Structure 1
Amino acid sequence: MRQQKVLGCPLRLGSPPINLQRLQSVHSSLQDAGMMHVQALQGLMRIKAMRGGLRNCPSASNRRNSRSQGKSLRRLYRACLEGREIVRSTFRGIFLLLPTLVAGLTPGLAQEIQGKLDALSPAVSTSLLKAPIAKIKPKVFTEHGRQRVDNYDWLRERDSPEVLAYLEGENAYADARLAVIKPLIEEIRAELTPRAKATDFNPPFFDNGYYYQRRFVQGSEYQVIVRHKGTLASPAEVLLDVPALAAKHAQFHLGKWAVSPNNAYVGYAVDFTGDQSHRIFVRSIATGRTVDDGIKDVDADFVFAADAKTLFYTVSNQIWRHTIGRKPTTDVLVYEEHDDTFEITLSQTKSRKFILLTIKSEQTTEVRYLAADRPLDKFKVLEPRRPGVRYSVDHLGDRFFIHTNLRAPDFRIVTASQAAPKAANWRELVPERRGRLLANFEVFDKYVVIDEEHDAIKSMRAFRLADMSEIPVPRSAELGVTAVGGLAGVVNRNPSSTVLRYRTVGPIEPETIYDFDMESGALTTLKQDPATQWFKQDLYDVERITASAPDGEQIPVTVVYRKDRRRPAGSPILIEGYGAYCISQLPIFPAAWLSLIDRGFVYAIAHVRGGCEMGQRWYDQGRMFNKRNTFTDFIAATEALISQGYADARNVFAYGASAGGLLMGTIANLRPDLYAGIIADVPFVDVVTTMSDPTIPLTTLEYEEWGNPAIKEQYEYMLSYSPYDNVAAQAYPGMFVTTGLNDSQVLYAEPAKWVARLRATKTDGNDLLLKTNMSAGHSGPSGRLGSVEASARAMAWMISRVR
């Protein structure tokens, strides 16, 4: 046995002896075990950097204490070698040992390190805070002849003081663990805040005699909505001063707003809690006086009738007719949907002649219509629902324009006369192009414009209605950008206009909004995102690669990086995914992650199945009994990014929200070894329990997406991948989980239960943090600055975990 005198104590540790290398070994083990953040170990790093080693052993009076601390160090060292969990008491002993080590250094270096230790002590103390342990209260679910035990279902009792205390305890623990990286959080927040606070506006749009515009003033959380009569040169009239309306509320989510046909009133819906329950207000534009505020606990959906006195609104599966100024107790129920797998929405056609009631499930649609000037009539069925047939409707002139998948899986546009709108009379206007999802359309008096999605890119086509000849719309490449173009997020309300408004945005191209005159071909740039003022496009690059899924499917992956920060051997990387509801995760400008990219991270989007990036087929291959493809696609994308040199295998991070959080939970179970950290925002992780409870909003509506647990085969398939039900006794990566107490779409209890089960089951010491916003819902905090703090925390947490 070799001996080494450290602190005047003979330590028989075998070969090699404990020295500064050994302390660094302890440092690495501590970091790997997740017992302390990197910043809290700077003292040990400083000692390692000292070439001369320890000088001057302590006096004899300190030798006894040094010997006991040496034993503590020896136990810790042995535990690290054997891979056992590092107990907190031993870790505390190591930290207490550091001042004695410092005392043996040269005076100048000792003073420098002691100052750092003094600064680190509070952070280290917080890192010793014990993680909350949820009580085990077994609840047995008997399903299809088998028993499923849930130890944490009690966390669904939202109003229970015990539940609230547990969530607050998790918040306190997360805050304590994040305290060490607070300077980095503040640094990133300082970068994000000016960008979010910038003065911004939406280009004015013309509708029914007025130009409307939404503006953000410098530093404001909310927009002001104004209008100009006839011309933009006329005085601005304030419709909604949202900052003033929101001033006294902790949460204020403005839902739909609309102006009455006579231009006298503005109606608007507000969610004050984040739980998707709204209150509808109607106010006089001329006086600013609220004339109706009695419609409470409803959806955000409403439409004015042509008389400007009648308002239709939705409450869950019902449509009600309301007379403005009267009490809601006098409202009339005009429609109720009795199939709980369908939801209902209200809209108005571009012609303003009809109010549309759309009744839809994930795979089936029925549209009913009502003449806007006959509000007392009944809604008429345009085409009865048929399983698997989806359609949406608009109207101009004397005909309906219908976007449908009937005999066209990737959709087409058909028309029907106003007098005979049934499917038997539909005439094809724009045919389907297989593999290219016809996602959206806009109709004008003389033109029709469509959005197509293919290869995870959106493009547009425009046609003259007279002969259906195609009008070349300036493509992204012609505009000099690698971008997504489309109709979403812009307003084309004036049917008589020859001007098409559209937008382009790309991974290294902030949003630009254009007006394109389809008659003359003139293109006008209306607005560029404020990011163009500070974003230097030439510093960045974007690439598209493919990954081979286990079944041979080629998965597109978009990769963004800063050219001067990318490492030849692979960089830290953040990979984002979603893959559900036929929602395409298109490669837009990653404003939320730029602070990460600027610090050397690569950012990638895995366009996994379950979205519609490659058409309807892509969606069908990622839902129901094909859902596992979503998860294996993401894993394949991760492996491809590593093998192709974009990602450092030690520093791979993943992000997903909502249904993307389900993806995060599943990859954590399937391949925890691939990831250094996972961020799951409002994650849908308790699949079977949620889908078995029809009282939860959205549950019955989504049977065609995930399955119905009442059907054994569907139940067993969901159970096979549900993240909560498949937590295993294994090592997991660091995990940062968020939720909102008022979330009505993914209940807070799902991530809370998941974290509780992970804490009780996993075998590692990596970070497991749960942050619950106690006043927010699924969309997070209200206001445009609400997400800044959360984004800064997430990025700082990832940066701190880079090895």
Structure 2
Amino acid sequence: MPHAPIARADHAADPYRWLEHRDNKEVLDHLKAENAYLEQQLSGQLALRESLFQEIKSRIRETDLSLPSPWGPYLYYQRTVAGDEYPRHYRCNKPADGTLTVDEHSEQLLLDPNALADGGFISLGAFSISPDHQRMAYSLDTSGEETYQLFVKELADDSLIELPFADCDGSMTWANDSQTLFFGELDDTHRPHKLYRHTLGTDSADLVFEEPDGRFFLSCYRSSSERQLIIHVGSKTTSEAWVLDAAAPHASFTCVAPREEGHEYDIDHGMLDGQWCWLIRSNQPGINFALFSASEAAPSRTHWQLLRAHEPQIMFEGFSLNQQALVLSLRENGLPIIEVQPQGQAAYRVQLPDAAYSLYVQDSLEFDSDVIRLRYEALNRPAQVRQLTLATGAQAVLKQTPVLGDFDADHYVSQRLWATAPDGTQVPISLVAKREVLGNSAPLYLYGYGAYGESLDPWFSHARLSLLDRGFVFAIAHVRGGGELGEAWYRAGKLEHKHNSFSDFIACAEHLIGIGYTQPSQLVISGGSAGGLLMGAVLNKRPELFAAAIAEVPFVDVLNTMQNPDLPLTVTEYDEWGDPNQPDVFERIKGYAPYENVQAQAYPAILAVAGYNDSRVQYWEAAKWVAKLRAHKTDNNLLLLKTELEAGHGGMSGRYQALKDAALEYAFILKILGMDAEQNG
């Protein structure tokens, strides 16, 4: 039986720092040895992995047509074809009757990522049609490093130009002349810090905006009205916006409100009561944000007029503008709410069938459209695209993601539970299982994230059915640090309050055990990126509580990373984790950092996955963590590291590869829980 790879430990403060030497032969050999060890240990599951892959794939309609979107004289849409990793992008003439029926006679292939990938990694960044519909700008990442090449295609003759610019962030924003493009450049830490203006037919670009502060990221986008260009510059706590008439791309951008530490705002341009105006979402009146308006000619802070006041119990997350209505995205009691304010009519809230769900505005369509599209799904309900008539609130399901085979949503039950944290805080849990499973102790998969104010709203998964149909419960722990219960919930799980994320997750696990839904020998936990930090921290604190853990691109070497300002994202992350150059912050992060706190104790089985080209969480975080765990843990439980040598933060590209990754993870879980023999047999 081959032994696990043992990494060399140097006599240094960080004995595994040598693993940070990218492209060093010893490092690459070690990562390849770990990959080989994983395959050897899971060799008995090869048939099961293939069976799971085929099982998951069989539920997915491999050849499908996306819901076409009308814009100008065309319908734009995508097609997926069985065997292809990526959807192809098309357009056709828009039918005169206003329907969404695709006219195959006028169909035009715009982009085929399958041909561009040629079997390798590819990720599409921008995909932007010019306002006159004559050109297409798009960007490609071919390594997973999230650095993009820029292209412009003439749609009349399919001629293609690669723009001669390097270190691009992938963004491409058209001005209204359909000749001028704005794009972003990355600095040495992979931060978008410069915005350039390029005129087609030239080989040069003019620097328009530069952001020197390492905490701030820069982006550029078109307003909902299509009449304005907006630069947004933001850190984790502060933002600033600059605006420009999209018909005058060579003029100068104007600052809306100069940055003030702690003031976050975002801006869009549209129409209210028949007048062009600016809409501004700002946290100055309170942490849950308020809404202001300003005339088109005077967007500066002194001219803002309050439209919607701050509400302590309702988080105002965002808004969508349309000539017919103002659509607000709210969050109340942990659930997303869509509130519509039609022009000249009373406001109303969109009504939905489930108790726990995910909901957002997917597409506001053309600015003068009288309908918008919502995306709605639940743990037991496949995603639906719903058309909402703005004036009346009427809804129609235009498309539901199909689930092939024997699937009935009513065979699964979704619940919202509440766990009590050590400080008395009630922490929500969303879960789903087959009806006959709930109430009995069962294998349970508990997922968590808890950072950056991100909300883990319940989502449907074709792959997850392979666990649910084997008697699993799937649950999400909505711990502090996420945004599910508003800004205060986020702030209660960051900086000096980060420990609440860990204690909340443990409380959720203990609650699920306490009510008899599972037991430690059946409990699997999972999280990725900042959720991987969560996994590492709770494994150090309560390893006996879990049977297995999955850590995807885990941010487990947080202390060392936050001390290296040359790495991507580090400086801007000070607002999330703190600056360890301050002694008290150093000690605080050191107190929970997963890598620093590995102990001589028994750990559950662990599968860690890293991306060698990951620019957000470097591959060595998982590699160093696994190396230290191997050297210190006192058990014989399986510890595996998989490094995707041709992928970045999002893993391998392509839909089939994602299914194979899920099959590997599920086979690992079934092996650890002793359920693989019955599956293979």
TM-score interval, normalised by the smaller of the two chains: over 0.9
What CA deviation, in whole Å up to 9, does each residue of 1:47-103 have, x standing for no partner?
A: xxxxxxxxxxxxxxxxxxxxxxxxxxxxxxxxxxxxxxxxxxxxxxxxxxxxxxxxx
Q: How does 1:720-739 map to 2 (within 5 A)?
A: 720-739=591-610
Q: How does 1:505-516 map to 2 (within 5 A)?
A: 505-516=377-388
1:447 paired residue number: 325
Matched to 2:374, the amino acid is Y
1:743 Cα offset (Å): 0.5
- The residue aligned with 1:719 is 590
CA 1:670–1:165: 2 relative to 1, 3 Å: same
Decide whether the 8 Å contact of 2:342 with 2:391 is kept in 1.
Answer: no
2:143 aligns with 273
Alignment of 1:367 with 2:241, yes or no, is yes
Structure 2 residue aligned with 1:691: 562
Q: Distance in 2 between matches of 1:439 and 1:343?
A: 20
Match of 2:108 among 214, 238, 261: 238
Q: In 1, Cα distance between the equivalents of 2:496 and 2:253? A: 37
| Correspondence 1:519 to 2:383 | no
1:420 corresponds to 2:294: no
1:802 aligned to 2:673? yes
Which one is further off, 657-666 or 347-356?
347-356
Instruction: Name the residue aligned to 1:183.
Output: 47
Equivalent residues of 2:225, 2:322 under 8 A apart: no
Residues 7-156 of structure 1 mapped to structure 2, 5 A cutoff: 128-139=1-12, 149-156=13-20
1:198 corresponds, among 45, 62, 66, to: 62
- Residue-by-residue CA offset, 1:565-599 (whole Å, 9 max, x unaligned): 4562x111110000001100111113332211111
**Structure 1, 277-286 or 211-220: larger mean CA deviation:** 211-220
Residue type of the alignment partner of 1:399: C
**Which residue, 459, 466, 481 being the options, matches 2:344?**
466
Aligned partner of 1:541 among 413, 424, 447: 413
CA deviation vs aligned residue, 1:254-289 (integer Å, no higher than 9, x gap): 112101112110001111000100111100111111
The amino acid that maps onto 1:355 is L
- Secondary structure in 2 matching 1:389: coil
CA gap of 1:222–1:582, structure 2 versus 1, over 3 A, is same
Residues 347 and 357, structure 1, Cα contact 8 Å, conserved in 2: yes
Instruction: Give the SS at the match of 2:256.
Output: strand
CA distance in 1 between partners of 2:240 and 2:385 (Å): 34
Q: 2:472 aligns with which of 582, 598, 601?
A: 601
Partners in 2 of 1:697 and 1:258 — Cα distance? Answer: 27
Q: How does 1:301-700 map to 2 (within 5 A)?
A: 301-316=171-186, 317-327=193-203, 330-397=204-271, 398-466=276-344, 469-473=346-350, 475-477=351-353, 481-488=354-361, 490-531=362-403, 534-566=406-438, 568=440, 570-700=441-571
Asked if 2 retains the 8 angstrom alpha-carbon contact of 1:624 and 1:704, the reply is yes
Secondary structure of 1:150 counterpart: coil
Counterparts of 2:565 and 2:632, CA distance in 1 = 29
**Match of 1:709, as an amino acid?**
P
SS in 1 for 2:551: strand
> How far is the alpha carbon of 1:652 from its aligned partner?
0.8
Q: What percent identity do the matched residue pairs reach?
A: 36
Which has more radius of gyration?
A: 1
In structure 1, the residue matched to 2:92 is: 228
The residue identity in structure 1 corresponding to 2:307 is: L
Note if contact 2:92-2:108 (Cα within 8 Å) is conserved in structure 1.
no
Whether contact under 8 Å (2:532, 2:551) holds in the other structure is yes
Q: Of 649, 652, 658, which residue of structure 2 is paired with 1:787?
A: 658
Q: 2:363–2:372: 8 Å Cα contact kept in structure 1? A: no
Deviation, 1:243, is 3.8
How far did 1:228 drift?
A: 2.6
Deviations 1:176-200 (A, max 9, x none): 0011222221221111123346223
* 1:295 CA drift (Å): 3.1
1:225-261, Cα deviation, whole Å (9 max, x unpaired): 1123332555444353324433425101011210111
* More displaced stretch, 522-531 vs 745-754: 522-531
* 1:455 CA drift (Å): 3.1
On the 8 A contact 2:61/2:403 being kept in 1, the answer is: no
1:411-450 CA deviation, whole Å, 9 max, x = no partner? 2221111222122221222333323222121111131111
Question: What secondary structure does 1:571 align onto?
Answer: coil
Once residues 535 and 334 of structure 1 are traced to their aligned partners in structure 2, the CA distance between those partners, rounded to angstroms, is: 53
Alpha-carbon separation, structure 2, partners of 1:295 and 1:535: 49
Please give the alpha-carbon distance, in whole angstroms, between the structure 2 residues aligned to 1:486 and 1:207.
Answer: 24
Alignment match, 1:747: 618
Name the residue aligned to 1:173.
Answer: 37
2: CA distance, partners of 1:641 / 1:444? 44
| CA distances 1:701-728 after superposition (whole Å, capped 9, x unpaired) | 1111111111121111111110001100
Cα offsets for 1:373-405 (capped at 9, x unmatched): 222222110111111111111102421111221
1:768 partnered with 2:644? no
> Partner amino acid for 1:529?
T
- Larger RCO, structures 1/2 (Cα 8 Å, 6+ apart): 2
d(CA) in 1 for partners of 2:443, 2:416: 18
Measure the CA separation in 1 of the matches of 2:377 and 2:405: 15
CA distance in 2, matches of 1:222, 1:206: 22
CA contact (8 A) 1:340 1:701 kept: yes
Moved more, 740-749 or 517-526: 517-526
In the alignment, the residues of structure 2 paired with residue 531 and residue 458 of structure 1 have an alpha-carbon distance, to the nearest angstrom, of: 25
Alignment deviations for residues 545-570 of structure 1 (CA, whole Å, 9 cap, x no partner):
111101110001112111234562x1
Amino acid at match of 2:366: N
Unpaired runs of 5+ residues, structure 1, are: 1-127, 140-148
Contact persistence 1:239–1:266 (CA under 8 A): no
Q: CA deviation at 1:693?
A: 1.1
> Quick check: 2:374–2:385 contact (8 Å CA) kept in 1?
yes
Mark the CA change 1:710 to 1:171 in structure 2 (over 3 Å): closer, same or farther. same
For 1:731 and 1:161, locate their aligned partners in 2 and report how far apart those are by CA, in whole Å. 32
Kept in 2, the 8 Å contact 1:565–1:598? The answer is no
Q: Give, in whole Å, the separation in 2 of the partners of 1:734 and 1:700.
A: 34
Give the secondary structure class of the aligned counterpart of 1:726: coil
Secondary structure in structure 1 of the residue aligned to 2:538: helix
Check conservation: 2:529, 2:552, Cα contact below 8 A: yes
Aligned counterparts of 1:555 and 1:802: Cα–Cα separation in 2: 27
- Residue 190 of structure 2 corresponds to none
- In structure 2, what is the Cα distance between the partners aligned to 1:590 and 1:367? 37
Match of 1:106 in 2: none
What's the secondary structure of 2:443's corresponding residue? strand
Query: Could you list the runs of 5+ residues in structure 2 that have no partner in the other structure?
Result: 187-192, 675-681
Q: Which amino acid aligns with 2:316?
A: L
TM-score by length of 1: 0.80
Amino acid at match of 1:587: P
Rounded Cα–Cα distance in structure 1 between residues aligned with 2:290 and 2:504 = 29
Larger helix share, 1 or 2: 1
Matched residue count: 658
1:287 aligns with 2:157: yes
Measured on the aligned residues, the alpha-carbon RMSD in Å equals 1.7
SS in 1 for 2:34: helix
Retained in 2: the 8 A contact 1:622–1:630?
Answer: yes
